[in-house]
Chains A and B, each alone.
Chain A
């Protein structure tokens, strides 16, 4: 036998055993992973209810030195010490930690979904109310009464929250969490730039044409970005919520109506035409900003440095971005320089329900993690965060529109901006459909704006949207235009 022969023989044998071994290992692994999907488990609502040593955590897309800083500050300075103190008085030793995040909402959502899917994550979780439906459908979160028991329904706070407010944290007629508050979109404008362009300080546009006229005047006066209307996929949901949807409701179009999704409608084409006018035809906005990865943050800092004339945003901009005290792009002279006004419909009376002015609203919520080791204590924490005392402390440093009527009565009195949103905007606002398909339809809408801003014709972009939305929800669920 030659050496070569031995080697070849050896190699063949090695290969055979490798193959057999792989098969064995594979079948072992497959068997091991077979029984993961067991029957629906009910949660033991009284688990560890009598524990005297408790570890709890809660999370939100807020972080010191970054996004939603005032909220994170409140957790650190009030919620954690106060809750620990209250529990200590009852003889319970609580270790409470806040897990901060400071990322785009889409990334935060992905993180939550992965956490909950792997049965981990914080005990109390802050999330966008629009996610509640799809998380509930996936079984990631459960109705509050399933997690913490029937006593949840007798919580005093519910009486302070209107049915509409509670909807922000509900799905299929059940409460999955407690809403954190409401927001509304308005048109912000820079009064200094307006003065430069010969525009009034108490600007009140009544139609899209009025907005375009102001933007043209700003451009003529040399303002580098006359108007910022969010577009493109890089801005994510900000494009839909602060861009296309407020325009769509201004044409009387709802993205979801009578059980069907909007297709290639006249309203969509009108809204996309406005994008085309602003970004392609007349150069009233900065198309590159809509494509950059950090475009939204840049648009904020440009607005704060008085380079942007007009911007559609929610009260979040006022509270958390250009807030001179705790904003991410603080504007020391915010109160004197920045004006706000309602978003007009395309033409007076053309908005949904024949409205002259329109807006979009969303709202955050806090839910309980069904996998918590301490369901009762987690609920106690959630209730405490939403108590009157806690909210009063929260709004003292940086006001928000809270879900509680008793707190709003006090806080809105001396905050003109939030009072404006609560009294003028919320009554005329519209909400996104809380359906699992919505995020994908939203992405298709963002794509449509991205294409128009990049130079595609309105008809082509709208047709592409129609194709995309049919693929997502099925053509039978798309309204014929």
Chain B
């Protein structure tokens, strides 16, 4: 085995006798741009291949009239920004965007966060067995495959033999067609609360008990404890939680399994709208354009949260 020292590694033995000792750069690792770039290249290639390229490809598809079948499937034409302008001026898109915002606000930001926090807050002081049991049940809603969950909900809300109608004595009420948005909002809260609960449980554990005790001793009520001690401590967690939940809820497709966007587009949130345009309707080009618009909305949401998060520090 040869004893040739690796010229790239500045070991003490290789320092003398060779004029090709690499310059130690003044960054933390001492690597310099080139070698650092070499180290991160595989990761960047992956990011480029699986994130940047699909995004650019989507942008390109969005500028064609590419379809699933027919002549434009074989030879799509370049149509410039037509798909984007058409989409942005389409009342159906506006309606869908509005429904999506309502959906995100009520099922994600308000529903899951508040319920998850409430659960975490209450369970903090409950008996261990009850706590484990409730946590288990809430988690179950999160980990059961969504196809199974949606089947359970269809059975719950069915017009003819639905469980809910049997309990309430409201036979003949078709919840999914009469209250489509309310149904998918409750459905999504039910699924997603587990995540907020878990996150807030660990966040609450980081609040120093001594401060809570002191507050109690000077006579602070629960609201005051929450406002002045708990919230300042877990503000970062709240932002992280809201960011993740907003993005997840914004992009979720699961409500399709319940209402399929119906009746008459009344629960057609953006992911369902895209599916209907692109896959069911075959307009892959338009679908790509809407997807890109959705991606931009996602980026804006993320940027706003990150800005708020940074300001906190």
Q: B-contacting residues of A (Cβ < 8 Å)? A: 6, 9-10, 13, 16-18, 20-22, 24-26, 28-30, 33, 106, 110, 113-114, 117, 131, 134-135, 137-140, 232-234, 288, 291-293, 298, 436-437, 439-440, 443, 450-451, 454
Instruction: Judge whether B302 is part of the interface by a CB distance below 8 angstroms.
Output: no
Q: Would A21 and B27 be within 8 Å (CB), given that A106-B280, A117-B68 are in contact?
A: no
* B contact residues around A454 at 8 Å (CB): 263-264
Chain A CB within 10 Å, residue with most, of B47, B52, B71, B177: B177
Chain A residues, CB < 8 A from B297: none
B42: min CB distance to chain A, Å: 10
CB-based contact B176/A21 at 8 Å: no
Whether A6 and B44, one on each chain, are in contact in the complex, defined by CB atoms closer than 8 angstroms, is no
CB-CB under 8 A for A29 and B49, given A17-B37, A288-B177, A293-B176: yes
| B interface secondary structure, majority | helix
Chain B 164-201 residues near chain A, CB threshold 8 A: 174, 176-178
Scoring A10, A16, A33, A293 by chain B CB atoms within 10 A of each residue's CB, the highest score goes to A293
- A contact patch SS: helix
8 Å CB contact of A140 from B27, B33, B37, B69: B69
Q: Mark B284-305, 1 if CB is under 8 A from A, else 0.
A: 0000000000000000000000
Residue contact A30 to B53, C-beta cutoff 8 Å: yes
Shortest Cβ distance from residue B156 to the other chain A in the assembled complex, whole angstroms: 14
Q: Shortest Cβ distance from A426 into chain B, in angstroms?
A: 28
Neighbouring B residues of A16 by C-beta, 8 Å: 33
B243-286 with Cβ < 8 A to chain A: 258-260, 262-264, 279-282
What total of chain B residues lie within 8 Å of the partner, measured CB to CB?
A: 39
Chain B residues, CB < 8 A from A114 = 68
CA A454 to CA B68, docked complex, whole Å: 30
A contact residues around B40 at 8 Å (CB): 17-18, 21
Q: In the bound complex, do residue A17 and residue B48 qualify as a contact, i.e. CB atoms below 8 Å apart?
A: no
Assess the B281–A440 pair: CB atoms within 8 A: yes
CA distance A430 to B160 in the complex (A): 37
Per-position binary interface string of chain B over residues 53-67, scored 1 when its CB falls under 8 Å from any chain A CB and 0 otherwise: 100110000000001
Contact between A135 and B69, CB atoms less than 8 A apart: yes
Q: Report Cα–Cα, A106/B275, bound state, in Å.
A: 13
In the assembled complex, the CB of B264 is this many whole angstroms from the nearest CB of chain A, namely 5
Q: Given the interface contacts A131-B69, A292-B159, does A25 sit within 8 Å of B177 by beta carbon?
A: no
Q: How far is the CB of A65 from chain B (nearest CB, A)?
A: 17
State the CA gap A139–B73 with chains docked (Å): 8
In the complex, A291 Cα to B183 Cα: how many Å?
Answer: 15
| Cβ–Cβ < 8 Å partners of B19 in chain A | none
**A291 / chain B contacts, CB cutoff of 8 Å:** 174, 177, 262-264
Residues 27-57 of B at the A interface (beta carbon under 8 Å): 27-28, 33, 36-37, 40-41, 44-45, 47-49, 52-53, 56-57
* B262 and A293 contacting across the interface, CB-CB below 8 Å: yes
Q: Which residues of B contact A28 (CB under 8 A)?
A: 45, 48
B173 to chain A, nearest CB (A): 10
Please determine whether A21 and B260 come into contact, CB atoms closer than 8 angstroms.
no
Closest 5 CB pairs of A and B: A25-B48, A291-B263, A21-B44, A436-B70, A138-B73
In Å, the complex CA distance between A439 and B258 comes to 24
Contact across chains for A288 and B69 when beta carbons are under 8 A apart: no
Q: How far is the CB of B65 from chain A (nearest CB, A)?
A: 12
- Residue numbers in A under 8 Å from B259 (CB-CB): 293
